[in-house]
Structure 1
Amino acid sequence: MASTKHIISEIPTYITLYSDGTVDRPRQAPLVPPNLDDPNIPVSSKDITISQNPNISARLYLPKNPTNKLPILVFFHGGGFFFESAFSKLYHEHFNVFVSQANSIVVSVEYRLAPEHPLPVCYNDCWNALQWVASNSAENPINPEPWLINHGDFNRVFIGGDSAGGNIVHNIAMRAGSESLPNDVKLLGAILQHPYFYSSYPVGLESVKLTSSERDLFTSVWSFVYPSAPGGIDNPMVNPLAAGAPSLEGIGCDRMIVCVAGKDGIRERGVWYYENVKKSGWKGKLELFEEKDEDHVYHIFHPESENGQKLIKRLASYLHE
């Protein structure tokens, strides 16, 4: 008899993994095409392949009629490492707003998702994407991208990400502190938007602020996407202060901004991370941006809102400081 399809594991309302290998992602936003030549949008976008083996791609955004060389933001989307996409309506609409104000190139990376590709796959994909961006500063790059070559300023390369993407930013910045990028390209800055970190112990006001269901969610996401993580929820990739974690002094960029939201369940982690970077001995310029009356990644969901615009304007100016 054929075995019936049954649930192997799930995070209710977010993702379900079945015995036949299929996955349901009920919160996934619809995917939309890029806008290369839409006269009604002040931003051009296109999709490119970074690598075929492994399969890594990206959506590129460029302001129309650029005149000067522009900062380059390599962006890692959120979604708990297991849903969302660089090609989703959510991120596409956000970057149409962001790039029109930020006057910069954005490379929004489509990394491979768990559980089909458990962590640390996404970290390697995102590092490979950053390496590819840097490789375009060479005389004759192997996989050339004209937008980067013609319009990108390789002295102003940033990485950024929201939620799980903010976690990726930290891990890529740590790697950039110990491994060099092609052609001696350096990371100028890092933007962590409501970054996802956690541990087996509470920090800040978490023991008062977080419900048990929130604590369970933050823990279960990590065990779902990285079931073999050494140390579990105290793996250094999710707990940067874990025993044996490399010192935050080794962050490999010159500037960092950590953004948090007052009503966000992981707000305390962002502040905790910021405070520990500040006292680590890291020599860069560090900033904390807080919007007290907003929730998790409000600026992604509502880029045209008053507070969404406030954060987007701050990050837009940050790329040009």
Structure 2
Amino acid sequence: MGSLGKEVATEVLPFIRVYKDGSVERLADSPIVPPSAQDPETGVSSKDITISEIPPISARIYLPKQVEVEETQKVPLLVYFHGGGFCFESAFSFVETKFMNRLAYHAKAVVISIEYRLAPEHPLPIPYEDCWTGLQWVVSHSSDHEIDNKESWLTNYVNFDRVYVAGDSAGANLAHNILMRAGSEALNCGVKITGAFITHPYFWGSEPVGSETKIVDEREKLPMFTIWNLVYPEAPGGIDNPMVNPVVSGAPSLAGLGCPRLLITVAEKDMLRDRGILYYNSVKESGWKGELELIEVEEEDHAFHILVHESEKAKDHIKRLAAFLV
């Protein structure tokens, strides 16, 4: 039994609990915070915008003060997908907003963080579709044709020849799958993705990799496994679906990634580390023609640059990510 005596259907602790009446309790969310006309730390402005009413997709967009003031040349754009196992966290949360402000400031770029719908109420592939819809709406601002809810920060400040996508954890999984789709399906107005960074990517599979436990019962109790079953119960192939296991036999070739530059970052203590390194090696061996880089941060854990945001290593890592957006 859980909250107020309701019966629990499933739970993945310490992240989420789902009750038999269909209600969901998110246990790991950072508090929601409002956007800011001027962030006290960075001077970055932010606001919340609507991308689509049906389906309901929104975003938080960030504009660095130096970009707004100078107005001399247009700047790169980063379209970001937040982490949280597809089932918790938000583009509007405290830790995400802190991270985005710093990233926009150091990159001197416009950043837009997509608020996609969350599982299990909206199971995968809905979040994939929401992120694709969000990206297509964003790049539509590169031309003069009519767009619902046109956003002036995109039309006034962005150089659409320098469009990047990125994400952390489940957001990195989203970014990977967006890149695969962009490799085979055109973006609106002929826009091309310039590059992407994939941070601590949430990939998994039935076969153990590197230092992962080889005991089947233990593997099936790990949150990487149980969350996938919660958020995509109908996934063909289960935990070996190519959306979560992009190196599985029969998965689409990683040579199809739709960008010419890719940065993959992993953390030494992260349980997902070996998957990120395997992904890097698999991209390198796939015949993909782009520029590929791997960064490993020692003595740090999953999403440390967001969750332990006051540490010097977190601040340094954000600067490294920002430097990628040239």
Normalization by structure 2: what TM-score? 0.93
Alignment of 1:148-163 (within 5 A): 148-163=154-169
**Distance in structure 2 (CA, Å) of the matches to 1:214 and 1:288:** 29
SS in 2 for 1:136: helix
Deviation by residue 1:153-205 (Cα, 9 ceiling, x = unmatched): 10110100000001111100000000001110000111100000000001123
**Distance in structure 2 (CA, Å) of the matches to 1:70 and 1:210:** 49
Partner of 1:70: 75
Task: Structure 2 unaligned segments of length 5 or more: list them.
Answer: none
Task: Give how far 1:65 is off.
Answer: 4.0
Name the aligned partner's letter for residue 35 of structure 2: P
2:229, 2:239 within 8 Å by CA — same for their partners in 1? yes
Task: Give how far 1:141 is off.
Answer: 3.5
Aligned with residue 207 of structure 2, among 196, 201, 204 = 201
Partner of 1:108: 113
Partner of 2:233: 227
Distance 1:65 1:313, change over 3 A: closer
Asked if 1:121 is matched to 2:122, the reply is no
Partner of 2:291: 285
**Distance in structure 1 (CA, Å) of the matches to 2:37 and 2:215:** 45
Partner of 1:147: 153
Partner of 2:185: 179
1:257, 1:288 within 8 Å by CA — same for their partners in 2? yes
Deviation by residue 1:248-287 (Cα, 9 ceiling, x = unmatched): 0000001000000001000000000000000000000000
How many pairs does the alignment contain? 317
SS in 2 for 1:117: coil
Partner of 2:36: 35
Partner of 2:142: 137
Distance 1:318 1:214, change over 3 A: farther
Task: Give how far 1:217 is off.
Answer: 1.6
Task: Structure 1 unaligned segments of length 5 or more: list them.
Answer: none
1:63, 1:99 within 8 Å by CA — same for their partners in 2? yes
SS in 1 for 2:79: strand
Deviation by residue 1:125-175 (Cα, 9 ceiling, x = unmatched): 000011011100011331311101000010110100000001111100000
Asked if 1:311 is matched to 2:317, the reply is yes
1:30, 1:89 within 8 Å by CA — same for their partners in 2? yes
**Distance in structure 2 (CA, Å) of the matches to 1:37 and 1:270:** 35
Distance 1:210 1:69, change over 3 A: farther
SS in 1 for 2:142: coil
Task: Give how far 1:36 is off.
Answer: 1.9
- Give the RMSD, CA atoms, in angstroms: 1.8
Quick check: 170-179 or 295-304, which moved more?
A: 295-304
Name the aligned partner's letter for residue 110 of structure 1: E
